[in-house]
A and B are shown apart, each in its own frame.
Chain A
Amino acid sequence: MKNEGMNVRFKLFSALIAVCVLGIIASAGAQENKFRLKPGAQGKNCLTCHVDLQDKLKLPFVHTPVKAGECASCHNPHASSHGKLLAADTNKICFTCHPDVVSKKALSSHKVVAEGNCIKCHDPHAAKNKFNLLESGNNLCFGCHKDMGDAVKTAKFKHNPVERGCLNCHNPHDSDQAVSLLKDKVPALCLKCHKTGTPVFQKQHMNYPVAKARCTSCHNPHGSDKAGVLYTNVHRPVANKMCNQCHEDPTSANPFATKKTGYELCRGCHSQMVNEAFSKNRIHWPIADKKGCIHCHNPHAGPIKGLLKAKMIDLCSECHADAIEQQKRSPTKHAPINEGMCTTCHAPHASDNVLLFQQASVIDICLSCHNYSLHSTHPIGAKALDPRNNNVMVLCTSCHGTHGTENKHMLYYPTSTELCVQCHVEHRR
């Protein structure tokens, strides 16, 4: 009796397991063919209308799901909330099958990849290039990086790996080794090709142990018009191979140490500039700190005139992002900021004026670009005191925010009426 009961329970349990297994198989089948297409109908159904794709599928490299006729892997045949009837957001759909295209440990990632703009480089269906790339070799990269492409093509002194392909040094998606998608850090990357132990190499580098230095502080890895692929603008001591003018001797214990700290080092040659800066009422304070001039300037070589580390607007916004951001939000742009010329109004090193203004009078600064007589007849200057505060004159900046405001014409208030009645209170309604 007891055995019989056990048998019944065993049979019931077995049946339950069988039902579960069948259920899982059925569900997997349904998942594979979730639109319940007729056998053999996958893909073929789509191509009856999308005839243009038929030619494309003859290309040598076809995306795997397309080749398998699994159009429904990416598209919903009935309806979708996304463009092209995609099953998910255009910028996310690729990651459903390619989730690890950007490593979690990545030190740098290609912006288009991070934003999911995979189709900037890859054709989602088929292409004549490996990996479904839209173009082959450097042409693909230079499609976006046009300036770089032009510079590489016109450079008098070429860097051979660039000619052979950007991917010699860069990863296309991400890099967990270095910045700028580099396959390895500098100088390790450079040292894979360049042998630093040769007498010629050592002589060229004045016997400094540059195998431990950052090669790109002098050399343009993409080619240059200067011999030795040095950047276009070279600091004179570097051009003259006088490294020890600033650095300790190559045989010393710390050959890359500078002989002096901060601006004191630069003062050795640029004494007039440094002395003039320090004689002004106000100095741009970073000049006076430990880092000094190299906050903004490259000490060796660089692509920008004046050996600036970056374009002026980018350089200034490293510290004054607030001012630059304010301009970005402003419906009316102030031309000097828009053109990245902060020095139109501000002195970069030092000034006798507040906010490092180039001139003592705000009005004079504005009039160096603007013709006030064509702009307004409102009195400004020493004879027009601000009614809100008699200790300040009416200036251009009484009405306009020079880095932009949320209002048109960089006005502090959205309408002229609101602006004017701040002072002309008798007209306030």
Chain B
Amino acid sequence: MMKNIVLIAILLLSAPALSAELMQFKHLVSIYKYPESNDPKAAEIKINQPEGVACRGKSILVSDTANARLQPYTLQDDGSIKPGPGAGIQVAYPMHVRMNSKGDIFVLDGKQHKILRMGATGEAKGNFELEGVPAPEAWIPKNFAIDANDNMYILDVFSSRVLVASPEGKFQRQIVFPATDGFFSDLTVDPQGTIFILNSITSMVYSAVPDDKAFSPLKSGLKDFVTFPTSLTADKQYLYIVDQFGSGIVILGKDGTVRGRKLKMGWKEGEVHYPSDICLNEEGEMFIADRGNNRVQIYTRE
């Protein structure tokens, strides 16, 4: 009897690890072109070096970087891609892109080093400005994230900190980067409100739960599992790290334990080449900005 209880306990405890190790991503569909439209020229345009991809529900927004355009798509129930809603939006050099709960669009413009704000249909709402930032007031966003309550988290590389602001841009708090070598490339906020930041050079991930005043490193580095990680995202259970130079995705437990590595380098459907961004929707579908392959790939979980 006791033996059975112990066995069940072990199985329950190892369930998350097992689920991640067994988690398989199946390639569903790729986005290669602009949607069919009345303009035949537009329909011929191919996606070119997409740096970012945003997803919310079935809505997808692609940073078609080399075409200087944000392009919306919808993932349909049958797995096909439908254009829109709305038309493409011109942006000088769109990189990281995210949508908030209202569908408002936020995109990092690589040329201006600003976060641009737009309505759900792409109407410009100006730059996302911060109000009440403590000294030093200067900030340069390398990346940003939006939480479930539409609060904004900005990776300010100029002043080595994460700035947290209300949806309107009112400063709420800041957490300075850990004193370490390397360079912080991306951040994400999980559904529990924990902030994670990624150091691309040292391959370390740091976290701060909502009340933390400082970042703490996850228990171990990723050096043995990645070559040059550049972006990350999180769901309730796991962190997903994009290994750009190694062309793959590494899945971590929230404590930093490596749970597996997915995808491989290549040109065929399902393979990735210099992936640059990742987004997960509520259904666990994974969207990868496959920059080197000029496409966005969508995977479902098996």
Contact = CB atoms under 8 A, between A and B. Distances in A.
Contact of B291 (A290, A318, A320, A354): A354
A278 interface: yes
Interface in A248-293: 261-262, 264, 278-283, 285-286, 288-290
A320 B182 CA distance: 10
Contacts of B113: 278, 283, 288
Q: Is the interface of B mostly helix, strand, loop or mixed?
A: loop
Given A286-B183, A320-B228, A386-B267, A391 B32 contact: yes
Contacts of A318: 201
A322 interface: yes
Given A388-B267, A391-B294, A288 B46 contact: no
Contacts of B227: 322, 326
Interface stretch (B16-24, B153-161, B232-240, B280-288): B153-161
A262 B156 CA distance: 13
Interface residues of B, number: 39
Nearest to A261: B136
B183 A285 contact: yes
Nearest to A289: B157
Looking at A262, A290, A389, which has the most chain B CB atoms within 10 Å of its CB? A389
Contact of A389 (B65, B228, B291, B293): B293
B223 to A, nearest CB: 10
Interface in B99-149: 110-111, 113, 136, 138, 140, 142
B280 to A, nearest CB: 23
Nearest to A392: B294
B110 A322 contact: no
B245 interface: yes
A285 B228 contact: no
Interface in B167-224: 182-183, 185, 200-201
Given A288-B142, A389-B293, A391-B47, A319 B158 contact: no
B224 to A, nearest CB: 12
A161 to B, nearest CB: 32
Contacts of A389: 267-269, 293-295
B93 interface: yes
B183 to A, nearest CB: 6
Contacts of B160: 289-290
Contacts of A326: 227
Looking at A290, A386, A391, A392, which has the most chain B CB atoms within 10 Å of its CB? A391
A354 B49 contact: yes
A288 B158 contact: yes
Contacts of A386: 267
Interface in A314-371: 318-320, 322-323, 326, 354-355
Given A289-B160, A354-B49, A391-B295, A282 B110 contact: yes
A79 to B, nearest CB: 41
A263 to B, nearest CB: 9
B242 to A, nearest CB: 14
Nearest to A281: B93
Nearest to A264: B138
Given A389-B267, A391-B47, A290 B110 contact: no
Contacts of A391: 32-33, 46-47, 293-295
Interface in A367-396: 386, 388-392
B75 interface: no
A290 B293 contact: no
A280 B142 CA distance: 15
Nearest to A291: B160
Contact of A288 (B66, B140, B291): B140
Contacts of B32: 390-391
Contacts of A388: 266-268
B245 A322 contact: yes
Contacts of B136: 261
Contacts of A392: 267, 292-294
A166 B158 CA distance: 42
A354 B182 CA distance: 21
Contacts of A279: 111
A80 to B, nearest CB: 38
B92 to A, nearest CB: 8
Given A282-B110, A391-B46, A262 B158 contact: yes
Contact of A281 (B111, B142, B294): B111
Interface string A399-429: 0000000000000000000000010000000
Contacts of A289: 140, 157-158, 160, 183
Contact of B159 (A283, A290, A354, A355): A290
A354 B245 CA distance: 13
Looking at B32, B157, B266, which has the most chain A CB atoms within 10 Å of its CB? B157
Nearest to A403: B245
B25 to A, nearest CB: 18
Contacts of A280: 111
Nearest to B109: A281
A278 B92 CA distance: 13
B110 A354 contact: no
Contact of B158 (A281, A290, A390): A290
B270 to A, nearest CB: 11
Nearest first, the 8 A-B pairs at minimum CB distance are A388-B267, A391-B294, A322-B227, A289-B157, A281-B93, A389-B267, A319-B201, A391-B32
Interface of A: 261-262, 264, 278-283, 285-286, 288-290, 318-320, 322-323, 326, 354-355, 386, 388-392, 398, 422
6 contacts: A280-B111, A289-B158, A289-B183, A391-B32, A391-B33, A422-B267
Given A289-B160, A320-B228, 17 more contacts: A278-B113, A281-B93, A282-B110, A285-B157, A285-B183, A288-B157, A289-B157, A289-B158, A289-B183, A319-B201, A322-B228, A322-B246, A354-B291, A390-B32, A391-B47, A391-B293, A391-B295
